[in-house]
């Protein structure tokens, strides 16, 4: 059975090649390649958890770690080559890892989904970004504070409604913007707490079935806590929206300050003079440009660009919220549950992943097992039968590791109970989540 999608992380179930237009439309590598370091960091931690769960050997772990370090070195030196078919950063890194170390690379993704992988990457990447932004904000605030101290004797008009109101110290104006920016720093620190929650080990939706030690992963990746619910962990992007809120507020403050400085630099005010290059005359690094027609002009272009970039950030925030609001939750009927109907909606094809896990437990690398499960789905569809109706003979045309014990996987309750890692959908994990929120409610002085 020809399968030209075999190199995809999801390719086993598909036959024929993807249309080039769809290939390009579907690819996110142009955007998410910036997360290359976060992706490799998460993978290095995950293979250590695979070792503890006895899903890779010590030798395989060392081989994978060495390969990941080589991939990291290529990215660091700007030598990593993105190839056609690298639809995202996860695909690109795993493809290169396999080129470097061979079949052992196929075990890295065992029990992991791109769903929890990308959520982890985004949190690691954003956490580093928050640290950088905090450092830059503090540097700006420190400069402004020192200018306020140095220019404390300067008096100027204070304005309300753009009319002269009362005399103030120039330092008072500077420190009014310092105060706003200090709140931005505090908000950024508060956001970091919610960014620094680890989703890795949540799988695609139900959790991780292989007894992965999420606490080990948390410590390796320096997260503050572990996500409480796997569906929420992989499906929500509140932390991204909250960061965009923060960016919008911070740019509002910078834009207001830029607008004041633009006005104060005009001939009508003549309160300040802008530098001719990047030498700061006030307290922010800014430059001036001239007019192509009028030789006397000295334009506050850098300040105008700060003001204009605020609009771009606001737009990104609004656009992202529109994306989020269009996503349905996992259940839409307001708290009305019909157990019989819900159980009727279960079907054997939903256990295709369990077919792959069955092979993994027999020693097959997950990446190969995923392909085998996809081929089983294809055969069932070709025969117009349910996945569970495939015979052992059918399955052995895919892999000889399939045998009579395959019948044990067609059990929905058993499937659910395998996701017993914290945050998963097994009964013990759900019970722990319920107790967690009962305790939380007590701290809020509410009753469930």
CA distance 55 to 98: 18
Residue 19 lies in a domain: yes
Selected residue with higher pLDDT from 446 and 355: 355
Which residues are within 8 A (CB) of 213 and not within 5 positions of it... i.e. 6 or more apart? 49, 52, 53
Share of the chain above pLDDT 70, in %: 86
Strand ranges for 60-192 from DSSP E:
155-160, 163-169
Mean pLDDT across the chain, nearest whole number? 86
Residue 388, pLDDT score:
94
pLDDT 10s digits, 307-334: 878 888 888 888 888 777 766 543 222 2
Which residues are within 8 A (CB) of 267 and not within 5 positions of it... i.e. 6 or more apart? none
Residue 50 lies in a domain: yes
Residue 94 lies in a domain: yes
CA distance 394 to 59: 34
- Average pLDDT value for residue range 227-235: 94
Residue 228, pLDDT score:
96
Q: Kindly indicate the confidence band of residue 285, based on its pLDDT and cuts at 50, 70 and 90.
A: very low
Residue 430 class from Cβ within 10 Å (0-12 exposed, 13-18 middle, 19+ buried)?
A: middle
Q: Kindly indicate the confidence band of residue 301, based on its pLDDT and cuts at 50, 70 and 90.
A: confident
Q: Kindly indicate the confidence band of residue 226, based on its pLDDT and cuts at 50, 70 and 90.
A: very high
Q: Which domain holds residue 106?
A: 11-110
Q: Using alpha carbons, list the distances in angstroms from residue 173 to 263, 268, 270, 286, 301.
A: 14, 19, 16, 18, 22
Residue 338, pLDDT score:
63
Count of structural domains, the chain:
1
Which residues are within 8 A (CB) of 51 and not within 5 positions of it... i.e. 6 or more apart? 57, 58, 61
Selected residue with higher pLDDT from 339 and 432: 432
* Tokens, residue 142: 């420190």
pLDDT at 220 over 60: yes
Half-sphere exposure (Cβ direction) of 215: Cα atoms closer than 13 Å: 1
pLDDT 10s digits, 74-126: 999 999 999 988 999 999 999 999 999 999 999 999 999 999 999 999 999 99
Which residues are within 8 A (CB) of 27 and not within 5 positions of it... i.e. 6 or more apart? 86, 87, 88
Phi, psi of 92 (to 5 degrees): -65, -45
Residue 284, pLDDT score:
38
- Give the distance, in angstroms, between the CA of residue 448 and the centroid of all CA atoms in the same chain: 32
Share of the chain above pLDDT 90, in %: 67
Work out whether strand 163-169 and strand 155-160 pair parallel, antiparallel, or are unpaired: antiparallel
Q: Poorest-confidence range of 26-40, 210-224, 286-300?
A: 286-300
- Average pLDDT value for residue range 358-380: 94
Residue 163 class from Cβ within 10 Å (0-12 exposed, 13-18 middle, 19+ buried)?
A: exposed
Residue 282, pLDDT score:
38
* Local structure of residue 289 (DSSP, 8 states): B
Residue from 4, 131, 225, 291 carrying the catalytic annotation: 291
Q: Kindly indicate the confidence band of residue 8, based on its pLDDT and cuts at 50, 70 and 90.
A: low
pLDDT at 426 over 60: yes
- Give the distance, in angstroms, between the CA of residue 99 and the centroid of all CA atoms in the same chain: 26
Helix (H) or strand (E) run with residue 76 in it? helix 58-76
Residue 6, pLDDT score:
45
Residue 266 lies in a domain: no
Residue 327, pLDDT score:
63
Residue 46 lies in a domain: yes
Residue from 161, 270, 292, 329 carrying the catalytic annotation: 161
* Tokens, residue 265: 């630099």
CA distance 177 to 164: 19
Residue 271 lies in a domain: no
* Tokens, residue 224: 């503050």
Look at the block and give the residue holding tokens 């890295």. Answer: 108
Q: Would you say 359 and 372 are in contact if contact means Cβ atoms under 8 Å apart? A: yes
Residue 437, pLDDT score:
84
pLDDT 10s digits, 371-411: 999 999 999 999 999 999 999 999 999 999 999 999 999 99
Q: Is 309 helix (H, G, I), strand (E, B) or coil?
A: helix
Query: Which residues are registered as beta bridge partners of 159?
Result: 164
Residue 24 lies in a domain: yes
pLDDT 10s digits, 174-186: 999 999 999 999 9
- Give the distance, in angstroms, between the CA of residue 405 and the centroid of all CA atoms in the same chain: 39
- Average pLDDT value for residue range 224-231: 96
pLDDT at 2 over 50: no
Buried b (16+ CB within 10 A) or exposed e, 88-97: bbbbbbbbbb
- Give the distance, in angstroms, between the CA of residue 136 and the centroid of all CA atoms in the same chain: 22
Residue 45 lies in a domain: yes
Residue 304, pLDDT score:
80
pLDDT at 280 over 60: no
Half-sphere exposure (Cβ direction) of 140: Cα atoms closer than 13 Å: 22
Residue 330, pLDDT score:
34
Ordered alpha helix ranges (H), 265-325: 301-325
Residue 287, pLDDT score:
46
CA quadruple 81, 84, 85, 87: dihedral sign: positive
Among residues 107, 90, 101, the alpha carbon closest in space to that of 38 is found at: 90
CA quadruple 308, 137, 30, 11: dihedral sign: negative
Residue 11, pLDDT score:
53
Q: Is 109 one of the catalytic residues?
A: no
CA distance 27 to 7: 14
Q: Is 161 one of the catalytic residues?
A: yes
Work out whether strand 163-169 and strand 225-226 pair parallel, antiparallel, or are unpaired: unpaired
Instruction: Say which CATH number the domain at 29 has.
Output: 1.10.275.10
């Amino acid at each position: 059975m020809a399968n030209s999608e075999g190199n995809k992380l999801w390719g086993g179930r598909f036959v024929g090649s993807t249309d080039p237009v769809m290939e390009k439309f579907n690819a996110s590598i142009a955007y998410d390649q910036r997360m290359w370091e976060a992706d490799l960091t998460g993978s290095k931690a995950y293979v250590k958890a695979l070792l503890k769960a006895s899903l890779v050997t010590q030798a395989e772990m060392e081989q994978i770690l060495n390969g990941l370090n080589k991939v990291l070195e290529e990215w660091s030196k700007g030598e990593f080559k993105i190839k056609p078919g690298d639809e995202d950063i996860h695909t690109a890194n795993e493809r290169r890892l396999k080129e470097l170390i061979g079949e052992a690379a196929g075990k890295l993704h065992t029990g992991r989904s791109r769903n929890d992988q990308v959520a982890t990457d985004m949190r690691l990447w954003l956490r580093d970004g928050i640290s950088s932004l905090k450092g830059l904000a503090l540097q700006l605030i420190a400069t402004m504070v020192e200018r306020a101290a140095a220019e404390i004797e300067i008096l100027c008009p204070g304005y309300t409604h753009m009319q002269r109101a009362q005399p103030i110290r120039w330092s008072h104006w500077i420190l009014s913007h310092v105060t706003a920016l200090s709140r931005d720093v505090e908000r950024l620190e508060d956001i970091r707490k919610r960014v620094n929650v680890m989703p890795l080990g949540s799988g695609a939706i139900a959790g991780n079935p292989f007894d992965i030690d999420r606490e080990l992963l948390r410590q390796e990746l320096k997260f503050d806590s572990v996500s409480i619910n796997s569906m929420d962990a992989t499906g929500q992007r509140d932390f991204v929206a909250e960061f965009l809120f923060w960016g919008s507020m911070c740019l509002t403050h910078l834009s207001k300050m830029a607008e004041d400085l633009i006005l104060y630099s005009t001939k009508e005010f003549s309160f300040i003079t802008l530098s001719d290059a990047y030498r700061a005359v006030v307290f922010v690094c800014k430059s001036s440009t001239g007019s192509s027609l009028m030789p006397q002009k000295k334009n506050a272009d850098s300040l105008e660009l700060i003001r204009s970039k605020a609009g771009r950030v606001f737009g990104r925030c609004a656009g992202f919220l529109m994306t989020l609001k269009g996503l349905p939750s996992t259940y839409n009927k307001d708290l009305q549950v019909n157990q019989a109907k819900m159980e009727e909606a279960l079907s054997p094809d939903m256990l295709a992943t369990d077919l792959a896990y069955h092979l993994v437990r027999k020693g097959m690398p997950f990446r190969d097992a995923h392909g085998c499960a996809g081929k089983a789905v294809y055969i069932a569809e070709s025969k117009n039968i349910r996945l569970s109706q495939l015979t052992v003979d059918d399955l052995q045309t895919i892999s000889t590791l399939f045998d009579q014990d395959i019948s044990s996987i067609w059990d929905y309750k058993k499937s659910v109970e395998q996701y017993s890692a914290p945050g998963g959908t097994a009964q013990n994990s759900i019970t722990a989540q319920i107790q967690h929120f009962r305790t939380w409610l007590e701290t809020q002085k509410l009753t469930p």
